[in-house]
Amino acid sequence: MKNDLIQSTPQSIHLSLGYWTSFAARAMESEFNKRLAPYGITRVTWAVLGAIHYDEKSTPSELAAFLSIDRAAITRLLDKLEKQNLITRHRTGEDRRSLSLQLTQKGEALCVKIARESKAVNAQFTAGLTPEDIDKYIETIRKILDNGSKTANSL
């Protein structure tokens, strides 16, 4: 099959690794979005809340780097999350620009609920796969992304 994915010409879209990768991502995103809708948040909101809660990212700069989102977009999103009473921002030290982020009780409770939804989506889409299959899939995707970064950086 590998030769078919790389060498067949002309190529059916159903033999394209990019097609299947994108199709799987869109299907998972669609299901997750359906599950997020009742909570009134987006996947990006969840990513930020989860990064603060589970990955202990506590500054806007850490979030921007961790999530690969530009700093201005993170600031706008944090403004929205603060208005929704999901996070608080505290000045740290003497530098007024230095902020520490924390989830509110409401934000923590939401994180727990959304984590369950995220796990449910992952379980739905990985039904029938072994833990080894899942580990290999993640390892393979990381290699593909690394290869893409090398290509993109050389342009």
User: Who's near 146: CB < 8 A, 6+ residues apart?
Assistant: none
pLDDT value of residue 155? 42
For residue 90, the 8-state DSSP code is E
What pLDDT, in 10s, does the model give residues 52-73? 999 999 999 999 999 999 999 9
- Segments of the chain with pLDDT less than 70: 1-10, 93-97, 151-155
The gap from C-alpha 8 to its chain's centroid, in whole angstroms, comes to 33
User: Would the pTM of this model clear 0.85, i.e. be above it?
Assistant: no
* DSSP E strand stretches across 41-105: 87-91, 99-103
pLDDT value of residue 55? 95
Q: What mean pLDDT, rounded, does the chain reach?
A: 89
What angle, rounded to 10 degrees, do the helices at 105-126 and 43-53 form? 110
pLDDT value of residue 114? 97
Question: In the CATH hierarchy, which top-level class contains the domain 2-153?
Answer: mainly alpha
Query: Strands 87-91 and 99-103: what pairing?
Result: antiparallel
What pLDDT, in 10s, does the model give residues 72-96? 999 999 999 999 999 999 887 666 6
- What does the alpha-carbon distance between residue 70 and residue 115 come to, in Å, rounded to a whole number? 24
